[in-house]
Amino acid sequence: DDIAVRITTAQVDIQVLPLSEGIIHLLLPDAYRALSDLLRNRRTSIDSLAAQTGTPDPTLVQVTFVGLVPQARFNPEDVNITSAGQLFRPVGIVPVSPGWGSYQLDARVQATAIYLFDEGITFREDLTVSYQTRTSTAWSRSVRLLDQELARVRARQAAGAPEPP
């Protein structure tokens, strides 16, 4: 939750979390295992969609929509990322939650999917996440948190301390 970018509309709360190994490896061990398992379980679908879209090495992002009102509507295609001045639109979406395709949620119900974007998004610097007319630059805070955690990992390695499980 600390590094997910959030955008809130009148109908839904959107949470965007990069799934690159360099990012998720810095998360708590339980979160890392859960996200690694998610990617492993969806690998066939991800690879198939990547091949269909001609994106051999896609950037993967988990997107979760949470309904804020009964019968909240959402449009999954409206999630975009701007990185290094370039706009990235999803090239494919692998649903994780059942009922993803209804594009409607009850209050407090969530729908999650893995988004595939073209290569070129860099999560080591500021970027912007947008949904419809709303944007968030909150990733800059996430970059600082990740940099701090990376510094702690390197300090433990330099001191010869074992990595957490």
For residues 80 and 123, the answer to whether their CB atoms sit within 8 Å is: no
| Beta-sheet strand order (sheet of 92-95) | 5-8, 12-18, 59-67, 110-117, 92-95
Residue with tokens 């998004």: 121
Rounded (5°) CA angle 95-40-127: 65
pLDDT digits (tens, 9 = 90+) for 19-39: 988 888 877 889 899 999 999
**Which residue did the predictor score with more confidence, 149 or 97?**
97
Q: 101-123, pLDDT tens digit by residue?
A: 899 999 999 999 999 999 999 88
SS3 6: strand
Query: Which amino acid would we find at residue 5?
Result: V
- pLDDT value at position 73? 95
Cα 155 to Cα 31, 123, 142, 152, 161, distances in angstroms? 22, 22, 20, 5, 9
pLDDT at 2 over 80: no
